[in-house]
A and B are shown apart, each in its own frame.
Chain A
């Protein structure tokens, strides 16, 4: 508990320093609980998520950094490796390939990379995975873009 708190405090300071380096990622620590974080990540360019801002919820376990943070999308997203309803993410570093070499910041970077490079062979969203696997890139892109517009962009007045 003490070790995880100390580590998170270091990450907090790092996040303040990195702000300018990583404009795609905005990591915000809960005011009263250093084990709860929110991230706002920008959809990568030249993907159907471009122009969207996606909110992630990060819950850090007491065993951190020996155990990974739990991360899920709060913003609705149509992506093969994100559960459409729960926002759960299928990413090896959040499960079996986790190591303390990762940080909350680099986890967010990995999620942005996953948005740009979906892995349809291990889908959590089968509809999305099937579109990609059957080669219907246009179908996948238009669905993903529609949900980006609906859920991840400011509403036009």
Chain B
């Protein structure tokens, strides 16, 4: 059964340059590391098209994009343009929700110079740290990601040596070594929150993927590049106490006309439903995301 060609190929394997691109003849020899290399090459190619976080663009870019698209979408974009002036796109690499949240949140704190919010957030981050510790995560596996997020949080408040401007915030969110670490911080926080309240999240997770809470966190929350769903958004919003509004730009419509649906993710909403609902009216989301099936971008109100 030993095929002579195969033998030659094996002998070559040791000396072969691992960077060489596979040709069709090589399919039999293709290894996982080749596949991963190819994947990162595709990602690098995509990176040229759009940075992790794009520039602020007028909402009219959406009109142009859907010029020859569905009339329902065109109508919805018109409705959106009544309330929103700008959109900021993010790269569609599976991390777009977290990337949107990172930029939108830090930009908000930077604009308002909200020191109270920074202190409140720091408290939440410490709670998240304890959550992970209680769940048995080893400190050194997540502490670098926590530290880097706290650095960013500090840096948006002016008056220290580390302070950054809005332009620098854009640059940082485009820098892989910072951006990916912050995304990973959010993934740890989201995973911890879901596991901590697993009895609450279990039915939603079963509806999404038919697997256990632990499996879901392992395969769909913690790995980079795994897309976010309403479970992720609810958990992150809850864990950090930040309300998020999502505007849905899809082709759904109803008899009464074409409106743009939105959903507000309000921290603690699930608890409030069970108990008294006093105080739930106080929070208004300052982060607004535009959802198109499979992707999130950032929206700016007029």
Chain B 129-143 interface residues, beta-carbon cutoff 8 Å to A:
137-138, 140-142
Q: How large is the interface on B (under 10, 10 to 19, 20 to 34, 35 or more residues)?
A: 20 to 34
Point out residues on A near B: beta carbons under 8 Å. 3, 6-7, 10-11, 14, 65-66, 70, 85-86, 88, 90, 92-103
Given A92-B219, A97-B219, A98-B223: A86 and B142 within 8 A (CB)?
no
Pick the contact of A101: B33, B141, B219 (CB < 8 A). B141
User: Are the CB atoms of B31 and A7 closer together than 8 Å?
Assistant: no
Point out residues on B near A: beta carbons under 8 Å. 10, 13, 31-33, 36, 137-138, 140-142, 144-145, 177, 180-181, 184, 187-188, 191, 218-219, 222-224
Pick the contact of A100: B31, B36, B184 (CB < 8 A). B184
Question: How many Å from the CB of B90 to the closest CB on chain A?
Answer: 18
User: Are the CB atoms of B223 and A66 closer together than 8 Å?
Assistant: no
18 intermolecular pairs with C-beta atoms under 8 Å apart: A7-B144, A10-B140, A11-B140, A14-B138, A66-B180, A66-B181, A70-B33, A86-B31, A94-B32, A95-B36, A96-B219, A97-B223, A99-B223, A99-B224, A100-B142, A100-B184, A101-B222, A103-B140
Main SS of chain A's interface residues?
loop
Q: How far is the CA of A3 from the CA of B145 in the complex (A)?
A: 10
User: Are the CB atoms of B142 and A3 closer together than 8 Å?
Assistant: no
Residue of chain A at shortest CB distance from B132: A101
Question: How many Å from the CB of A123 to the closest CB on chain B?
Answer: 14
Among B137, B141, B188, B219, chain A packs the most CB atoms within 10 A around the CB of B141
Question: How many Å from the CB of A82 to the closest CB on chain B?
Answer: 12
Chain B positions within 8 Å of A96 at CB level:
219, 223
Residue of chain A at shortest CB distance from B140: A10
